[in-house]
């Protein structure tokens, strides 16, 4: 019998890269590859790269330097190790990678992962292979689904890509160039994927897309369905107890999405809605095509539909021309909205984007200083948000054993990690947890006995309490 070949895959960047990595593993499973956590014994190493900021992008070349030594070592032992670069750097700098890094055998852009087996074969027979075209066909039509045992091994929470690419062209951003034009997958394909996942134990589905609420996939009725319509439909699938979506754009928040938050208990009241800046002048220069007030109005619409909704966001500090006054407007917006958390980044000029040609650079010192001030404000909001959970009883979807023996960790509706002492039987269930304390970003608590159930006699008997799937 032929021994399985070993595949090691390392992903950088966003959730879509995490998901794509799984789909590449699925595609290569058919070729006899099994995943390995160690790079040293791998027959194939895939770097799934991110181009969003300079730092992310440069990691590729330093990682390739390290891999060269590992590949040489394998060769000394008579083993061939192949190295592939996938993801957004592959798309943006494919030929440069081939030129600069002879260690690389295959370069494959994000829309061509279904061609990986052919590209590997090509590299084996003809040297090296590069594919960064945007093929006419949809890769998802060709990527094999994961096997049931693979789904189970991946846990109870899963991403599903529903939309990919971006037509917004924010002036700082590479995504429209690396992921291509906006494409939505048809509803029936997504339903098939979600059903397969739910049938194999997945309880939480996060629909992902670079612009997920621009979703307009073809529905079974032949019409274009919105993200809201898709969510209503997916909430009906047995086993799906939590639904999320990411990342949204403030310009594409339709009424059906707001209504879905009002009507669907499975749709979690936590929305990542990046705004980037609170200054209208900067927002215009970024080509965001919304103002700070537009954004506040979108937030108000969500809050009117669902009182317990919370938000996270992304911010860029030091965009070209950002004045102290512009930055103050960002701080003011953050103060007004009140976030459960947010990511903030220093502006990084990206080759080929319009902002890279803008002259009025903010100095490195000013950027650093603004980043610290913004992060302090966001951290204080996040800490207050987390501390507010203490003493309350919240629903937790349990995911896996925690590091401490006997502890199981899950997540609240707001993705806060929550730890309880319990048996592993509760994994995959949503149970009410009385939150007792907060340790850094983690909540600690005890499973609350549902009011109608008899109180447990023995210390461990709460574990055997009939599972109470709430949130569905
Ligand atoms: N599609 C999402 C996010 C895309 S990238 C959206 O539209 O919001 C994730 C985040 O990276 C962005 O929200 C932005 O805050 C940040 N980002 C993108 N390009 C950047 C750049 N050139 N410099 C610094 N941060 C950047
Ligand atoms: Fe980038 Fe803007 Fe598209 Fe988001 S909406 S992916 S920030 S171009
Ligand atoms: Fe990075 Fe590409 Fe995602 S640039 S953030 S991996 S879409």
Q: What is the Cα–Cα distance from 105 to 120, expressed in whole angstroms?
A: 8
pLDDT above 60: residue 383: yes
Ligand closest to Cα of 315 equals: 1
Please state whether the predicted TM-score (pTM) of the whole model is above 0.85: yes
State mean pLDDT over 293-315. Answer: 98
Distance 346 CA to ligand 1 centre (A): 10
Determine which of 133-137, 160-164, 182-186 has the lowest per-residue pLDDT on average.
133-137
Burial 289-312 (b: 16+ CB within 10 A, else e): ebbbeebeebbeebbebbeebbbb
Query: Which stretches within 41-81 are classed as H helix?
Result: 54-76
Substitution candidate for ligand 1 out of 316, 317, 344 with most atoms within 8 A of CB:
316
Show the beta-strand stretches assigned E in 227-349: 242-246, 270-272, 310-317, 341-346
What pLDDT is recorded for position 462?
Answer: 33
Pocket lining: 16 vs ligand 3, CB cutoff 6 Å:
yes
Determine which of 41-45, 120-124, 157-161 has the lowest per-residue pLDDT on average.
120-124
Backbone conformation region of residue 327, classed left if phi is above 0, alpha if psi is from -120 to 50, else beta: alpha
Residue 139 — very low, low, confident or very high, per pLDDT cuts 50/70/90? confident
Does a cis peptide bond (omega within 30 degrees of 0) precede residue 247?
Answer: yes
Q: Are 231 and 243 in contact (CB under 8 A)?
A: yes
The answer as to CATH 3.30.750.210 being correct for domain 145-268 is yes
What pLDDT is recorded for position 1?
Answer: 55
Sorted by sequence, the CB contacts under 8 Å of residue 100 that are 6+ apart come out as 61
pLDDT above 60: residue 451: no
Substitution candidate for ligand 1 out of 52, 92, 174, 253 with most atoms within 8 A of CB:
52
For 71-113, write each residue's pLDDT tens digit. Answer: 999 999 999 999 999 999 999 999 999 999 999 999 999 999 9
What pLDDT is recorded for position 441?
Answer: 86
170 is in an annotated binding site: yes
pLDDT above 70: residue 452: no
State mean pLDDT over 256-279. Answer: 98
All structural domains of the chain with their residue ranges: 5-131, 145-268, 274-283+302-386, 393-447
Pocket lining: 53 vs ligand 3, CB cutoff 6 Å:
no
Tokens of 300: 């108000």
What pLDDT is recorded for position 456?
Answer: 43
φ/ψ of residue 400, rounded to 5? -170, 165
Q: Could you give the 3-state DSSP secondary structure of residue 97?
A: helix
Pocket lining: 370 vs ligand 3, CB cutoff 6 Å:
no
State mean pLDDT over 4-12. Answer: 95
At the fourth CATH level, the homologous superfamily of domain 5-131 is: Methylthiotransferase, N-terminal domain (3.40.50.12160)
More confident residue, 464 or 397: 397
What totals of helices (H) and strands (E) does the chain contain, helices first?
A: 13, 19
For 16-41, write each residue's pLDDT tens digit. Answer: 999 999 999 999 999 999 999 999 99
State mean pLDDT over 125-133. Answer: 89
For 228-265, write each residue's pLDDT tens digit. Answer: 999 999 999 999 999 999 999 999 999 999 999 999 99
Q: Are 241 and 397 in contact (CB under 8 A)?
A: yes
What pLDDT is recorded for position 328?
Answer: 98
Q: What is the Cα–Cα distance from 34 to 29, expressed in whole angstroms?
A: 6
Residue 135 — very low, low, confident or very high, per pLDDT cuts 50/70/90? confident
pLDDT above 70: residue 465: no
Pocket lining: 252 vs ligand 1, CB cutoff 6 Å:
no
Q: Could you give the 3-state DSSP secondary structure of residue 362?
A: coil
Per CATH, the architecture of 393-447 is what?
Beta Barrel (2.40)
pLDDT above 60: residue 467: no
Edge-to-edge strand order for the sheet containing 82-86? 33-35, 5-11, 44-49, 82-86, 106-108, 129-131
Q: Are 186 and 167 in contact (CB under 8 A)?
A: no
Mean pLDDT score of the chain: 93
pLDDT above 60: residue 293: yes
More confident residue, 466 or 279: 279
What pLDDT is recorded for position 125?
Answer: 86
More confident residue, 25 or 462: 25
pLDDT above 50: residue 457: no
Closest-CA residue, ligand 1 atom 8, reads 274
Q: What is the Cα–Cα distance from 271 to 275, expressed in whole angstroms?
A: 12
> Within its chain, how far is the Cα of 154 from the centroid?
15
Please check whether the two domains, 145-268 and 274-283+302-386, share a CATH topology.
Answer: yes
Per CATH, the architecture of 274-283+302-386 is what?
2-Layer Sandwich (3.30)
Q: What percent of the chain has pLDDT over 90?
A: 89
Q: Are 421 and 406 in contact (CB under 8 A)?
A: yes
Closest-CA residue, ligand 1 atom 4, reads 210
Pocket lining: 208 vs ligand 3, CB cutoff 6 Å:
no
Distance 267 CA to ligand 1 centre (A): 25
For 320-352, write each residue's pLDDT tens digit. Answer: 999 999 999 999 999 999 999 999 999 999 999
pLDDT above 90: residue 127: no
Pocket lining: 350 vs ligand 1, CB cutoff 6 Å:
yes
For 387-446, write each residue's pLDDT tens digit. Answer: 999 999 999 999 999 999 999 999 999 999 999 999 999 999 999 999 999 998 899 999
């Amino acid at each position: 019998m032929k021994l399985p070949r070993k595949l090691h895959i390392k992903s950088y960047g966003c959730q879509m890269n995490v998901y794509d990595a799984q789909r590449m593993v699925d595609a290569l499973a058919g070729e006899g590859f099994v995943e390995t956590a160690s790079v040293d014994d791998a027959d194939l190493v895939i770097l799934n790269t991110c181009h969003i900021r300079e730092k992310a992008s440069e990691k590729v070349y330093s990682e390739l330097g390290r891999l060269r030594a590992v590949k040489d070592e394998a060769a000394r032992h008579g083993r061939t190790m192949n190295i592939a670069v996938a993801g957004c750097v592959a798309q943006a700098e494919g030929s440069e990678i081939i030129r600069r890094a002879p260690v690389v055998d295959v370069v494959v852009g994000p829309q061509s992962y279904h061609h990986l087996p052919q590209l590997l074969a090509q590299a084996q027979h003809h040297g090296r292979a590069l594919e960064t075209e945007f093929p006419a066909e949809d890769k998802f039509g060709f990527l094999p689904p994961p096997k049931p045992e693979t789904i189970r091994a991946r846990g109870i929470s899963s991403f599903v890509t529903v939309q990919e690419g971006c037509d917004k062209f924010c002036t700082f951003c590479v995504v429209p160039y690396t992921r291509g034009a906006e494409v939505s997958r048809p509803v029936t394909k997504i339903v098939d994927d979600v059903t397969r996942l739910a049938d194999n134990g997945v309880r939480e589905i996060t629909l992902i897309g670079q612009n997920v609420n621009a979703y307009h996939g073809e529905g079974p009725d032949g019409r274009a369905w919105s993200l809201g319509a898709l969510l209503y439909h997916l909430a009906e699938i047995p086993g799906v107890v939590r639904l999320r979506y990411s990342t949204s754009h403030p310009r594409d928040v339709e009424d059906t999405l707001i209504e879905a938050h009002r009507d669907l208990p499975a749709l979690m009241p936590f929305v990542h809605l990046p705004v980037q800046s609170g200054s209208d002048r900067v927002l215009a220069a970024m080509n965001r095509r919304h103002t700070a007030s537009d954004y506040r109005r979108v937030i108000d619409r969500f809050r009117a539909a669902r009182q317990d909704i919370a938000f996270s966001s992304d911010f860029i500090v030091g965009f070209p021309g950002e004045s102290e006054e512009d930055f103050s407007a960002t701080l003011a917006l953050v103060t007004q909205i009140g976030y459960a958390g947010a990511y903030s980044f220093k502006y990084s000029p990206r080759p080929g984007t319009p902002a890279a040609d803008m002259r009025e650079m903010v100095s490195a010192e000013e950027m650093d200083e603004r980043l610290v001030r913004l992060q302090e404000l966001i951290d204080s909001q996040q800490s207050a948000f987390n501390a507010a959970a203490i003493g309350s009883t919240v629903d937790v979807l349990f995911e896996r054993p925690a590091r401490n023996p006997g502890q199981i960790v899950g997540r609240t509706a707001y993705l806060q990690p929550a730890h309880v002492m319990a048996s592993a039987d509760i994994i995959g269930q949503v149970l009410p947890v009385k939150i007792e304390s907060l340790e850094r970003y983690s909540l600690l608590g005890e499973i609350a006995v549902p009011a109608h159930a008899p109180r447990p006699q023995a210390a461990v008997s709460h574990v055997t309490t009939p599972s109470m799937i709430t949130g569905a």
